[in-house]
Structure 1
């Protein structure tokens, strides 16, 4: 259903641009021709002035037309992305709702202990999926409306990562079989929003889960990074996986909202908000986020947060290095 709708919208925008071209091109060409003829055939001052003004007017129309086309193209791209986003949201909402309805009907037809346990488990799983989707949409709304700013507090740099692991283990059964963590021992303390950074890291872990197969291996690492100048220091969070990787032509847009690399990746669920939300959170901390990826080898998403207002760790803030 998505492709025909997007095709119709694209066709509509192309026709609109064609109408604009015809509506402006012919009058502009005619006006320019009149100005050139006036300059070429007449020598009186008023005719020369008329010719110059006519050509200037034509140039102004042309420049205005170019600006309109560029703005229209940008609006077209945004509208297409939003349309795809709405289509994805509709699909993502419909899938768990269908599952809930199906298992509820199964329970209604006949209840046995085994049947009930399975249905309840599947219904809870579907409601968790719905909740994650709704939370993503609400978070993106808060970010775009700037109705919620980060609340930095002096914090052990490993804590957002540990919170992420705890959250991920609670929502992904058997995650301890493929998730490996390697946290910096005695990390620094600096000002960050622990909750929002945990959400960014969770989005990266969840994204890694979606795009890896049965033999998945996902890693979460924290470490200190010092730039070549040895002046700027950053705390780095790395989320790596052994998935299918991201083709190079998609890397420049992978953090754009509503963007999904359709046609090259598996049919993973999602609406194209997770990475955009992660980038917004990281940028609000003054940090940067980027990805290193190789097709059929996997990807590594890297978050770097500049260390400001750092404080030497106390005993309660020491990190540990471990694997789950």
Structure 2
């Protein structure tokens, strides 16, 4: 047993150390792999975020540049194209009347100086010209109207810059006109030196800001754009009444003045040509990105200032980029993200989904490793348990074999000593009666010695699996009686009489006669052996009929034995002397017959062993 415990401790210590090192190294490797995968995912998210921000910034800048070139009158529902092929009155719907096809533009709008907000998709005077999604456009217009004051404030520097530029332009033009008037010759041609000086004098020019543009329109074109609805309605009425006027634009005749008397040698400077109508200059700035709260949510809006003879306007584009909006899988935010160039907005990608997927995969890998580790550990524990069991079993067998050798030597020495003693006594004895008694003792010891050897051989055959029965149907009562009568002289000589009782109506039983003799011999021999110190040494043998079979009961007045001896008989179990193989052999023979070995308490003490054999 000490060897088994020592082997168990050594194996547990070695395999425990190996398993602990394996588990710790695997956990560190899995944690390092998780850390690397998370960092790779974060880098991929940052790269993707930067790509989205650059792409969005590029698209926004291109949109801003393209829309900055758009004429101011496109922001109306109806407009007159000064560059169109039609002459005179002509009004067409704005190219923005059906909305924008650009996903980055939610709506175009115009804020008049009085605060009125209009959309090119809506015409309040002629609602049949509204866009198909008029309800949605009206809701957008109302949202812009609520934020129009903030938009006008944001665009105020642009409008002021246009006004300053316009005032400067007008002052320079006035100075140039006055200078030209003052330097114009009245009677004689200018001197050559004056002409040269005039040519060399620098001409003042207006320095326009790069973000400002000017568009020059014919006054009639400006009037048609300013009153597009009136002109459109007039044209529509004329078309409906089939009127085809010969002249679309009526020009009132100018009074002709009477000719003045001729003046001799008139000077060329005294005749002034009629002045042409001055063209209309419309000044606009480039679109500039602003963050304006629309419906209480910050939103990216492009604004520009427009200066016309009738006042200033603020035109712009409303984008879908608001706080929390999604674009190409990224969230639009004001901070904590990658900056969108040209704006104060940022894009942000949430790495939680990628990290959650990585962590789920890591958890599955950890669970898979833990299952593998548990399985391998359990297998190693089974190996250790099997090894310890084999060591303990080998140690137990070694102990049993040594005990068997000692007991067998003792068991063999006793009959051998008796044989030697009685043989010497026969040689020296002259009395025939004593010689006969000594001869019987020699025969009994020889029988006992033969039974001991036979039991050992039978147990060996049972353990090797070569034990076999040769059973046939017969009268079991007669077979038991023959066994008892064969043992009776020996038992009586040992001072242990045997009482036999056999029922007369026993059913037929299939049994091996030699095996039955072995059963009866071992049970009676054990009864005699374990009752040697009892005051009453008689042994009772009963053969009785039972349901479905026959029972053979052997009772003695000895100390008895525990139930475990009958419940689980084992070879070489030594209880109170002997090899301890008798009951084991009886149990295996009875089981081979399909029977059972049982025990019962005896009133007054003793042991009672019962063998049940089924009937044929």
TM-score (norm 2): 0.41
1:28-80 Cα offsets, whole Å, 9 max, x none, are: 23223324433554513499779756676444333311221123223333332
How far apart, CA to CA, are the structure 2 residues paired with 1:146 and 1:298? 34
Question: Residue in 1 aligned with 2:443?
Answer: 124
Gaps of 5+ in 2: 35-361
How far apart, CA to CA, are the structure 2 residues paired with 1:170 and 1:116? 16
| Structure 1 contact 219–241 (Cα < 8 Å) conserved | yes
Question: Residue in 1 aligned with 2:303?
Answer: none
Q: 1:211 to 1:160 in 2, by over 3 A?
A: same
The within-5 A match list for 1:75-224 is 75-105=394-424, 110-113=428-431, 116=435, 119-173=438-492, 178-212=497-531, 213-224=534-545
| Structure 2 contact 571–581 (Cα < 8 Å) conserved | yes
2:12 corresponds to 1:25: yes
Q: 1:120 to 1:170 in 2, by over 3 A?
A: closer
How far apart, CA to CA, are the structure 2 residues paired with 1:54 and 1:113? 85
Question: Residue in 2 aligned with 1:256?
Answer: 570
Question: Residue in 1 aligned with 2:21?
Answer: 34
The 10-residue stretch of structure 1 (156-165 or 34-43) with the greater mean CA deviation from structure 2 = 34-43
2:586 corresponds to 1:244: no
Rg larger in structure: 2
How far apart, CA to CA, are the structure 2 residues paired with 1:225 and 1:195? 23
How far apart, CA to CA, are the structure 1 residues paired with 2:441 and 2:487? 18
| Structure 2 contact 488–497 (Cα < 8 Å) conserved | no
How far does residue 90 in structure 1 lie from its aligned partner after superposition?
1.1
How far apart, CA to CA, are the structure 2 residues paired with 1:94 and 1:106? 18
1:266-291 Cα offsets, whole Å, 9 max, x none, are: x4xx3222111111111111111122
Q: 1:224 to 1:26 in 2, by over 3 A?
A: same
The 10-residue stretch of structure 1 (45-54 or 176-185) with the greater mean CA deviation from structure 2 = 45-54
Q: 1:97 to 1:293 in 2, by over 3 A?
A: same
The 10-residue stretch of structure 1 (120-129 or 84-93) with the greater mean CA deviation from structure 2 = 120-129
How far apart, CA to CA, are the structure 1 residues paired with 2:489 and 2:33? 84
Question: Residue in 2 aligned with 1:273?
Answer: 581
Q: 1:167 to 1:145 in 2, by over 3 A?
A: farther
SS at match of 2:608: strand
| Structure 2 contact 4–388 (Cα < 8 Å) conserved | no
2:615 corresponds to 1:297: no
Q: 1:68 to 1:177 in 2, by over 3 A?
A: closer
Q: 1:75 to 1:155 in 2, by over 3 A?
A: same
How far does residue 104 in structure 1 lie from its aligned partner after superposition?
4.0
The 10-residue stretch of structure 1 (196-205 or 125-134) with the greater mean CA deviation from structure 2 = 125-134
More helix by share: 1
Q: 1:70 to 1:245 in 2, by over 3 A?
A: same
Question: Residue in 2 aligned with 1:234?
Answer: 549
How far apart, CA to CA, are the structure 2 residues paired with 1:188 and 1:165? 20
| Structure 2 contact 571–584 (Cα < 8 Å) conserved | yes
1:249-305 Cα offsets, whole Å, 9 max, x none, are: 64544x2111121xxx4x4xx322211111111111111112224697011111111
Question: Residue in 2 aligned with 1:225?
Answer: 546
How far apart, CA to CA, are the structure 2 residues paired with 1:178 and 1:78? 38
| Structure 2 contact 600–609 (Cα < 8 Å) conserved | yes
How far apart, CA to CA, are the structure 1 residues paired with 2:9 and 2:551? 50
TM-score (norm 1): 0.74
1:126-162 Cα offsets, whole Å, 9 max, x none, are: 3233222222223333433444521222212312221
The within-5 A match list for 1:50-61 is 57-61=376-380
| Structure 1 contact 35–51 (Cα < 8 Å) conserved | no
| Larger relative contact order (Cα-Cα within 8 Å, sequence gap ≥ 6) | 1
How far apart, CA to CA, are the structure 1 residues paired with 2:603 and 2:383? 43
| Structure 2 contact 497–538 (Cα < 8 Å) conserved | yes
Report the number of matched residues. 281
Q: 1:300 to 1:286 in 2, by over 3 A?
A: same
How far apart, CA to CA, are the structure 1 residues paired with 2:563 and 2:488? 31
